[in-house]
Amino acid sequence: MFYLLIIWLTLPSARSWDQTMRLCGENRMAIEQAVAELPWEKQEDIVWILNRLPQGDLTCLSPELISHWIIYPETAQILYSWSQPVDDEIWRNYVLFPRFSQEPLEDYRPWFYRQLGELVDTCSDLVSAVNTIHSWATEVVKFKPTQRRDQGPLETYAFGYGRCEELMIFNGSACRTFGIPVRQAFAPYWAFTDNNHAWTEVYVDGKWQYIGVSGNTTLNQSWFSDHTKRTSIIVAISPEDTFSSDVLYTNRGISLINSTANYAPTAKINVQITFNSQPVDSATVSFAVFNWGGFREILKLFTDSKGKVSVDLGLTSVWIMARKDNNYGYQIYTPSGSISESLTIELQTNLEIDTAVFMLVPPLKND
C-alpha cells in the first residue's frame, strides 16, 4: 500500500463551485453543460464530487464520465432486488465518489457492468452480490508487487495483477458500480511483524464489514483476520466524512477514520502533553510501532487547547513521541487491560533518549 502523505498531496480541500470552475480551464464549458443536463437532485451530488477533485482531473473530465458516476449505481439500485438503500452521506462518499486513493480516474463503471451484470442478477441478497463480485475479481487479477504509483482498475485488469491496494481498488470499483458502498481500510504497519496491508470494507446491513483482496470470499474471514486482532490501528479512508463519530481528522479533503474497533478490542489512550508542567496546545503527537527494524509512525495527532489527545488503539505496545518547537518527549505505552488509560509526556529542551533497552510487549495470537 502507499503512504498517506501522497494521498494528502493528491486530494484538495473542498472548494466552492466558483473556485472549482476556475480550475477547469478550457474544460469549464463542457463540465457546466454536463452538470446542467442532470436532474436537479443529482446535480448536488456531482457538484459535491467535483469540488473535491484535483485540478488535474477537472481539466480533462468528459461529460460522459461524469454522467456514468450517477447512471450505473442508480440503475443497479433499481434493477437488483438485493440492493440496500443508504443515506446520502454514505452514497456520496462510498458509492458515487470515483477514486479510492491516488489512482488515475478511469471510466470503469460501464466495463464492470458488462462483465458482472448477469452474474450479480442471480444473487439473492447483498452479501451474495459482494461475494460474487469478490470471487470474480480474485479470478481475473492476482497479487503481485508493483511500483509505488497506484494503477487504475482497468489498468490492473490489463496487467492481470496488482499489489494489495490495487486489488482493493479493483474490487471496490466493481462494487461501487453496482451501488454497493465500499471504502479502503488498511493497517499502516503491523504491530507484531513486518509490512502492512490494505483491503476492502463493505457497508452491509448498516455496518462496516471487511473482505480480503484475494482468497477467501466470505465476509470477515481472510488470511489477515488474525493479524487485525493483533495490530494497533486500522484506518479507513473517506473523501470527506463529517458524519461518523470515529473520524480521526479531516485534512485537505480526506478523512481518516478509526476502524480498529470493527476488528479487535481497543483501549482509549488519553495523552497529556506538558512543558514546565503546563499544558502544550498544538503539539504533534506521533504513535509508532516496531516494524522493518525501526519505529514506524502509524498515526499523528495534534493536541487541543488543553494539551490533550485521545485515540482508541488495539491492545499493543506503542511508542509515543511528542514535540513542539525544539522541545521533545516520549513514552512507551503498554496496555494494562483497562478500557481507558491516561499518561503524561513532559517535553524537554535537550531530550536524551535511553537507547539501552526498549521493552515491547507483542500482541498475543488468538487461538
The model's pLDDT over 26-48, given as tens digits with 9 standing for 90+, comes to 999 999 999 999 999 899 999 99
Domain that holds residue 281: 266-346
Please tell me what DSSP assigns to residue 348. Answer: B
16-27 mean pLDDT: 95
Give the pairing of strands 318-324 and 327-333.
antiparallel
The answer on 196 and 159 residing in a single domain is yes
Instruction: State which of 207, 236, 262 marks the end of a domain.
Output: 262
Q: What's the average model confidence in pLDDT over 333-355?
A: 88
Which of residues 262, 288, 303 is at a domain's end? 262
Do residues 102 and 168 both lie within one domain? yes
Is residue 354 domain-resident? no
What's the pTM value of the predicted model, to 2 decimals? 0.90
Residue 261 identity (one-letter amino acid): A
More confident: 13 or 144: 144
Residue 365 is assigned to a structural domain of this protein? no
Residue 367: predicted pLDDT: 53
* 357 occurs within a structural domain: no
Do residue 32 and residue 165 come from a single domain? yes
Cβ atoms of residues 318 and 232 within 8 Å? yes
> Looking at the 3D structure of the chain, how many domains does it have?
2
| In the chain, % of residues over pLDDT 70 | 91
Burial annotation 38-67 (CB, 10 A radius, 16+ → b, else e): beeebeebbebbbbbbbeebbeebebebbb
Domain end position, chosen among 222, 241, 262: 262
Q: What is the CATH number of the domain that holds 334?
A: 2.60.40.1120
Reported as a single tens digit per residue, the pLDDT across 90-115 is 999 999 999 999 999 999 999 999 99
Q: What is the mean pLDDT of the chain?
A: 90
